[in-house]
Structure formats: C-alpha cells, structure tokens
Amino acid sequence: MELFDAIHSQRAIRRFSDEPVPDELVRKILDAAIRAPSGGNRQPWSFIVVTDTDVKLELGRFYKESWDQGGLSKMASDADPSTARVYTSAQYLAERMGEAPVLVLACIETGGGDTTITTGSSIYPAVQNLMLAARGLGLGTVLTTIHKGREAEVKALLGIPANLETAALIPMGFPGEGERFGPTRRVPVDKVAHRDRWGGAL
Amino acid sequence: MELFDAIHSQRAIRRFSDEPVPDELVRKILDAAIRAPSGGNRQPWSFIVVTDTDVKLELGRFYKESWDQGGLSKMASDADPSTARVYTSAQYLAERMGEAPVLVLACIETGGGDTTITTGSSIYPAVQNLMLAARGLGLGTVLTTIHKGREAEVKALLGIPANLETAALIPMGFPGEGERFGPTRRVPVDKVAHRDRWGGAL
C-alpha cells in the first residue's frame, strides 16, 4: 500500500470481525512500530500482545470501569452531533474491548517518575507506526488511553514492572460489519497551520 | 513510496542541503499530519512553519541555549559509542538548528493546565505522520523537544497563545552531504514484545 493512501485512509476502527489475526501480521506490525524515533534512540518501548481470552476480558473490564468512572458514557449523550458520533462508537468499544481479536498495550520505561507531554514523544510515534502498519495490512485499530484510570490494576494484571508506564491500549482486528477505512474528516490545513508566527497565513 | 519502505527507511536527518523546500511539499506533509488520530477527534494541533531567516535563527538560538543548559553537549562526549553517535549528530544540529530550510513547531491546545504522557497521544501521532510524509517526499526530519527548556521564550517569539503548549520542533530539508535514509538499528521485536503478560514469549 502506498504511504499517502495509508495515511489518508487510517481511521479509528472500533468494531472488529471475529476473524483471527495471524501472528505473522502482528510481528510485521510490531517490527514497523519499533522503527519509530525515540529520544536519544533509547527505544524505551514495550508491547504486550494480548490474545488470551481471559486476560483480554479482564483488561476489557478495567477499561469499562474506567470509562464509566470518567463519566464518558454521559458525554456520549451530551455532546454535539459530530463528537457524539465518536462517543457513541467509543461507548460501543468500551462495552466490548475485551472481545477484540488482539489487544496491544504499549508501555514506556519512565523510571517511575513524573511524566510530561514530551514523555509521549518516545512512544506515540511508535504507536502511530503500529496503527499505520495495521492499516497497510487491512487491520483496524484505534488509539485509546481510557485504561489509564486503572493503571495500577492493568500493570498488576500483566506483571508490568514499576519503572514502566502504560501509554496506549490498542484493540486490533479486521474491520467488522459497517466499518470502513478512510477518508477522514479534518479541519483543513489552512486553519491549523501558520507561517513564521501565530496567525501568519500559510 | 510504499508504506513499509517509508516506515523502515525513516531515519533522523540532522544535516540538510541548502535546497529550498517547495511550499506544495510542506502543504502535502501537513495534510498528512492532520490525518492522525487525536482524543475524541478534537484535533488540538497547530503547526507553525518557520521559513523566515531571522525567526529561524532566533529559534535556533533558544534551542542551543536549552541544549547547553541541559548539559547535553557534555553527554555527547561521555556516552557509550552508540549513544555518542546520536549525541555528536545532535550536537551538530544544536549548533545549526536555525539554518535548516524549514522549522516546523508542532503545538497542542492543553488549556494551559498540567500535562501527562497521554497528552502526547493527541499530537505525536500527527508528528509521526508529518515525518513519514516528509520521508515519502525525500525530505529529512528529526523529532526534537530540547527547545522546551525555552518554552516561554519560544511562545513569546512566535506569538503562541497561552492555552497551547509546544510539543516538538522539527527541522526539515533535503538530506545534506553524508546523510542517508534508513535502514535503522533497533532492538529486535522479540526483546521488546511480550505475549499475554510481561515476560511471555511473543
């Protein structure tokens, strides 16, 4: 698949078919993930690929608890139409996270200290590579972070060491009924890009 | 360019040729950046494309000050050989950041509050798309965050509103003398991926 076609047709997929994901595709996707840059090329990432039914369901339970606790199901009904569509779909996922064919938990070694926005610069590029590679192989994904509301429980469940923090939980599978890849709707470039200083026309 | 070829040959490029970057390529690259996912599809990103010589040099000065203050030039001489290579190249960039043909500052609307690692999940996927798209068009980039040591000065210079935070400063240009695209060296997948729980063989 051509690079720009992949980029322009990547789209959040939250409903998956039951078709299993071959291990060799998972491996190819992870091998794409680790090609991403990281600060000082330290490669502080780890990926836990969860395919065991019980572990997936347990993760899904934590995800749903965190979703409910964050009041996100309420937001699904209160938001404006465009946002509401996202939340309705996200609500669907929150109820079925544990049923996705594969769950990938992306983690980053932080040393256990405080994190800031730039901590993410050494893990989310890898997550984006992962999702683009999945798209290139016909697999749907979506980047979620709601499980962070159950960070301790998730780490305990999977035996993740204290010096790591979880960064994203990514369900993966072939797109289910009614799902499609891109195109996506975005605020156009001219509205979000500036020349030389804030407000300068591109 | 094929997706996996782009992913596997993306590499930090820190030396640029003097050849100017056509505006239509910058626009195509930004149009790829904004296809990335963001939390609730809020698209909290802004991109400042700096090509004005004086503004670039001023940004480069802040970057170099922050580099020096962080003791990073010292690290360049102290590190192990593999890390030292990265730092030597990064030192070169720190001294010439303002001379890159284009500097892109990626910003994210945060409301001015505290940020955590997951704040980055709504900006670094876009930054990664930007860098992959650049690669696909033959342009080199590197993800840097060192300017964060001069966050207030950088925001004042570019007139960036208080409710935004800068996330990455990305120099961009055609690769200079001695630079090349991929392949990259990485710790292999089997060392960083786990099946079902920490330590499980993939």
For B119-141, write each residue's pLDDT tens digit.
Answer: 999 999 999 999 999 999 999 99
Residue B159 scores a pLDDT above 70: yes
Query: How far apart (Å, rounded) are the C-alpha atoms in residues B126 and B33?
Result: 4
Q: How far is CA A56 from CA B75, B94, B99, in A?
A: 42, 45, 50
Report whether the peptide linkage leading into residue A183 is cis, meaning its omega lies within 30 degrees of zero.
yes
Average pLDDT over residues B42-71: 96
Cα–Cα dist B106/B129, whole Å:
12
Distance (Å, rounded) from C-alpha B79 to C-alpha B84?
5
Q: Which pLDDT score is estimated for B76?
A: 57
Q: Does the distance separating the beta carbons of B2 and A121 come in below 8 Å?
A: no
What backbone torsions phi and psi does residue A148 show, to the nearest 5 degrees? -60, -25
pLDDT in tens, A170-190: 999 999 999 999 899 999 999
Alpha carbon distance A67, A64 (integer Å): 5
pLDDT at residue number B77: 60
Phi and psi torsions of A52, nearest 5°: -70, 130
Partners of B102 in the β-ladder: B172
Question: What is the structure's pLDDT at B18?
Answer: 96
Q: Of the candidates A174, A164, A173, which has an alpha carbon nearest to the alpha carbon of residue A47? A: A164
Fold that domain B3-192 belongs to in CATH: NADH Oxidase (3.40.109)
Dihedral sign (CA B87, A120, A10, A106): positive
pLDDT for A79: 64
Question: For A45, which of B10, B184, B192 is closest by C-beta distance?
Answer: B192
- Contact status, residue A87 vs residue B39, Cβ threshold 8 Å: no
Question: Hey, what are B201's tokens?
Answer: 């063989």
B40 contacts on A by Cβ (under 8 Å): 83, 86-87, 90
CA distance A201 to B169: 19
**Who has greater pLDDT, B58 or B88?**
B58
B168-186 pLDDT per residue, tens: 999 999 999 999 998 999 9
If you measure CA to CA, which chain B residue comes closest to A11? B37
pLDDT confidence tier of residue B114, bands split at 50, 70 and 90 = confident
- Residue segments in chain A with a per-residue pLDDT below the cut of 70: 71-79
CA distance B84 to B57: 26
The reply to whether B127 touches chain A by the CB within 8 Å rule is yes
Residue B79 banded pLDDT, cuts 50, 70, 90:
low
Residues 12-31, chain B, touching A (beta carbon < 8 A): 12, 26-28, 30-31
Contact B130, B168 (CB under 8 A): no
A202 Cβ under 8 Å from any chain B Cβ: yes
Residue range B146-161: mean pLDDT, rounded: 97
Considering only alpha carbons, which residue of chain B is nearest residue A2?
Answer: B2
Q: Considering only alpha carbons, which residue of chain A is nearest residue B38?
A: A143
The predicted structure's pLDDT at residue A37: 97
Q: Which of A27, A37, A124 lies closest to B125 in CB terms?
A: A124
Interface of B with A in 65-94 (CB under 8 A): 82-83, 86-87
Residue B75: pLDDT over 80 = no
Of the candidates B121, B148, B189, which has its C-beta nearest A145's C-beta?
Answer: B121
Distance from the A189 Cα atom to the nearest Cα atom in chain B, whole angstroms: 6
Strand ranges across the sheet with A140-141? A140-141, A164-173, A102-109, A45-50, B193-195
Q: Give, in order, the Cα–Cα distances in Å from B17 to each of A128, B21, B24, B174.
A: 28, 10, 18, 6
User: Which SS3 state, helix, strand or coil, does residue B42 take?
Assistant: coil
Q: What is the pLDDT of residue A80?
A: 75
Residue-wise pLDDT for B1-50, tens only, equals: 999 999 999 999 999 999 999 999 999 999 999 999 999 999 999 999 99
What is the per-residue pLDDT for A73?
63
Instruction: Assess B163–A contact: CB distance below 8 Å, yes or no.
Output: no
Return the domain boundaries, chain A: 3-192
A86·B40 Cβ contact <8 A: yes
Give residue B147's pLDDT.
97
Nearest residue in chain A measured CA to CA from B141 = A37
Taking the C-alpha atoms of residue B142 and residue B149, their distance in angstroms, rounded to an integer, is: 18
Provide the pLDDT for residue B80: 74
Q: What is the CA radius of gyration of chain A?
A: 17
User: Which of B53, B57, B110, B121 to mutate to probe the A interface, most A CBs <10 Å?
Assistant: B121
Q: Give how far A197 is from chain B: nearest CA, Å.
A: 4
